[in-house]
Amino acid sequence: MIRQSELRGEIERYEALRKRTEDTLDLLEIADDSMQDELGKEVDHISEQIDRLELQTLLSGKYDRGNALLAIHAGAGGTDSQDWAAMLERMYLRWAERHNYGTDILDRTVGEEAGIKSVTIGVTGPLAYGYLRTEKGVHRLVRLSPFDAAHRRHTSFALVEVLPEMDDLDEVKVPAEDIKLDVYKSSGAGGQNVQKNATAVRLTHIPTGMVVTCQNERSLVQNKENALRVLKARLLEMKQEEQDEKISELRGEYTKAEWGSQIRSYVLHPYQLVKDHRTDHEIGNTQSVLDGDIDPFIEAFLRKVN
């Protein structure tokens, strides 16, 4: 029923665009000079919508139409990298807001001085994983450090990880005896309930040693469910990598968040530029990008790899 509803929505959008195009063509035949500007804007809008529909045809992977789990990890660079991770968190939350996607912070560990060490965000909406999977990799920031008394230029790194969220959690079977559950008190802010009661959860997958934590909810049950969602998504990724001898289609090879491995650079000093090293796409308006306008980078990557 969910898939049927999605397809119905796609058909309705296509039919509405087709009708709008036909009406505009009819108007062009009878329009006088006073209507040219208005019709020009309408043609530009239609072209933009057609490009958007064309881009969606490139999202044909098994999980592309579903929700995503987005994780950001501070890398090399100390406090600056933790601040950079928080900047990326804000960027992706703004991007999700632009697309009317729902977001749910499943786990967040703050830094000692500023920023965050890591965050895991659930992003819900049509094609969320299809778009966000283009963002996985190391992101590099160059700027004058606000944490350096001498105000010197620093380079920081953060790793962005994107996993598909399964509609059916039974797709990946995890025997209860393979999971070690630890419960502890939340280390961050969260109100009296979080501080007084042990509601944070750490799941360890014994066969692989994989560890997932979740402490953002007040309920122990909710934190356990969210941690299991993330654990199963990571195990699904591992399963896909085992089935494919080449680079995994879901995540790609793990790379350390440090110099030389970045997929994109954000330069705030000595000049303003954001450049994607996979596509060579560049944007000079760094503030716009950090405010969530990353669609040009997503589109450039999708068109290059398809």
**Contact between 13 and 53 (Cβ < 8 Å):** yes
**Does the structure show a pLDDT above 60 at 252?**
no
The rounded mean pLDDT for the chain is 85
Most confident of 48-57, 195-204, 284-293: 284-293
- Of 84 and 38, the structure prediction assigns the larger pLDDT to 84
User: How many angstroms separate the CA atoms of 301 and 264, rounded?
Assistant: 12
DSSP string, 105-166: EEEEEE-SSSSEEEEEEEEESTTHHHHHGGG-EEEEEEEE-TT-TT--EEEEEEEEEEEEPP
Please report the pLDDT score of residue 166 as a whole number. 74
Burial 232-252 (b: 16+ CB within 10 A, else e): bbbbbbbebbeeeeeebebbb
Q: Residue 192's pLDDT is what? A: 45
Residue whose pair of structure tokens reads 């965000």 in the numeric block:
121
Please tell me the predicted confidence (pLDDT) of residue 248: 44
For residue 217, CA distances in Å to 85, 210, 275 come to 21, 21, 37
Max avg pLDDT among 3-12, 115-124, 190-199: 115-124
Cα end-to-end distance, the chain, whole Å: 29
Q: What is the value of pTM for the model shown? A: 0.78
Q: What is the pLDDT of residue 256?
A: 53
DSSP codes joined into one string, 182-230 = EEE--SS---HHHHHS--EEEEEETTTTEEEEE--SS-HHHHHHHHHHH
41: pLDDT strictly greater than 70: yes
**pLDDT for 151-209, tens place per residue?**
888 999 999 999 998 766 666 788 888 999 888 877 655 444 445 567 888 899 999 88
Residues 125-157: tens digit of each pLDDT: 989 999 999 999 999 999 999 888 778 889 999
The rounded distance, in Å, linking the Cα atoms of 228 and 52 is: 34
